[in-house]
């Protein structure tokens, strides 16, 4: 079976062209190939296949085999794959996902896609995160008790669930200790992706992420979008921000006039392989 290893800012997945391959048990397969010692090594698995409603279809599975409804870094790499490997010559395509059809704009240089802008659609936020204005020196957010300490979070869905938490120092934060407790908290029956963010100014956020089903990753596209939407809702940033993650930078713009979030960033191919 042929596969391609790709990443978006270090958020790496194994990509399989399901126009040519068949994966009978994708959840088990995702767990096996994601193992960084006994498998290929990745944050999960992305299947690219035909769609009756869009140009292509994307399915995504976390490293623990759980299915995710959307993957921002992954869908940019899908755009790169289908163009670079000749499945399309269009630079405006649509990709069907479990959280709806996403339009992509492919930025090409020397016949290869270097970056992609994804229309991620409308953000959704739970009742606890009704749009609220920050009061002076105070952000009103939903309290949640984690390991005996009360945190405040803003819950945002980008087709997959995210909890956005603001911290003093992102790079020094105990993400691997706090992340899994958030992920498994009874408040989140489907588990949660959690972003630990620091707002630098009204157009710049720093962020690390603990991903549901995978753990800390170098980047999370849907997480960056959730952090941007949360920061606008909490009146901490303007509608367009640069999000700095471990693996690099994404541009996120929430166009509230049309209520759509646009994410732009790179997509990279590492190697082709055969299992």
- Confirm whether residue 212 is marked as ligand binding: yes
- Confirm whether residue 273 is marked as ligand binding: no
Whether 225 is catalytic is no
Q: Tell me how far apart the alpha carbons of residues 104 and 264 are, in angstroms, rounded to a whole number.
A: 10
**Binds ligand API by CB under 6 A, chosen from 154, 222, 231, 244:** 222
220 contributes a contact to ligand API by CB under 6 A: yes
The catalytically annotated residue of 18, 71, 77, 197 is 71
68 contributes a contact to ligand API by CB under 6 A: yes
72 contributes a contact to ligand API by CB under 6 A: yes
Q: Which is nearer to ligand API, 117 or 139 (CB)?
A: 117
Q: What x-and-dash track marks residues 178-207 binding ligand API by CB under 6 A?
A: ---------------x--------------
Q: Which is nearer to ligand API, 139 or 250 (CB)?
A: 250
The Cα-based distances of 196 to 3, 51, 106, 216 in angstroms read 33, 35, 29, 11
Q: End-to-end CA distance of the chain: give it in Å, rounded.
A: 5
Write down the least CB distance from residue 89 to ligand API, Å. Answer: 26
Q: Which is nearer to ligand API, 9 or 233 (CB)?
A: 9
Residues 112-141 that bind ligand API (CB under 6 A): none
3-state secondary structure the chain: CEEEEEEECCEEEEEEECCCCCCCCHHHHHHHHHCCCCCCCCCEEEEEECCCCCCEEEEEEECCCCEECCCHHHHHHHHHHHHHCCCCCCCEEEEEECCEEEEEEEEEECCEEEEEEEEEECCEECHHHCCCCCECCECCCEEEEECCEEEEEEEEECCCEEEEEECCCCCCCCHHHHHHHHHCCCCCCCCCEEEEEEEEECCEEEEEEEECCCEEECCCHHHHHHHHHHHHHCCCCCCEEEEEECCEEEEEEEECCCCEEEEEEECEEEEEEEC
Stretch near ligand API under the rule CB under 6 A, chosen from 50-58, 69-77, 132-140, 175-183: 69-77
Q: Which is nearer to ligand API, 11 or 237 (CB)?
A: 11
Whether 220 is catalytic is yes
| Residues contacting 130, CB < 8 A, separation 6+ | none
**Binds ligand API by CB under 6 A, chosen from 212, 227, 250, 254:** 212
The catalytically annotated residue of 77, 117, 218, 220 is 220
Write down the least CB distance from residue 67 to ligand API, Å. Answer: 8
230 contributes a contact to ligand API by CB under 6 A: no
Q: Name the site residues for ligand API (rule: CB under 6 A).
A: 11, 62, 68, 71-74, 160, 193, 211-214, 217, 220-222
Binding-site members are 11, 62, 72-73, 160, 193, 211-212, 221-222
Active site residues: 71, 220
């Amino acid at each position: 079976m042929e596969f391609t290893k790709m990443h978006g800012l270090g958020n790496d997945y194994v990509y399989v062209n399901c126009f040519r391959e068949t994966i009978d048990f994708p959840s088990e397969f995702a767990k096996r190939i994601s193992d960084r010692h006994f498998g290929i090594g990745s944050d999960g698995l992305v299947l690219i296949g035909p769609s009756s409603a869009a140009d292509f279809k994307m399915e995504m599975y976390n490293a623990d085999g759980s299915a995710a409804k959307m993957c921002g870094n992954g869908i940019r790499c899908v755009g790169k794959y289908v163009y670079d490997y000749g499945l399309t010559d269009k630079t405006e395509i649509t990709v069907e996902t479990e959280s709806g059809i996403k339009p992509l704009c492919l930025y090409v240089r020397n016949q290869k896609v270097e970056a992609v802008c994804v229309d991620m659609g409308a953000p959704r936020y739970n009742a606890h995160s009704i749009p609220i204005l920050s009061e002076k020196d105070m952000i009103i957010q939903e309290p949640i008790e984690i390991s005996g300490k009360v945190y405040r979070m803003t819950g945002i869905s980008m087709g997959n669930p995210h909890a956005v938490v603001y911290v003093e120092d992102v790079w020094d934060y105990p993400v691997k200790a706090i992340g899994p407790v958030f992920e498994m908290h009874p408040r989140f029956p489907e588990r949660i992706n959690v972003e630990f963010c620091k707002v630098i100014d009204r157009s710049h956020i720093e962020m690390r992420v603990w991903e549901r089903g995978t753990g800390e990753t170098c980047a999370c596209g849907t997480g960056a979008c959730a952090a941007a939407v949360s920061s606008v809702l909490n009146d901490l940033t303007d509608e367009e921000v640069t999000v700095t993650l471990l693996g690099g930078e994404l541009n996120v713009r929430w166009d509230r006039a049309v209520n759509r979030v646009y994410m732009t960033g790179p997509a990279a191919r590492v190697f082709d392989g055969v299992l």
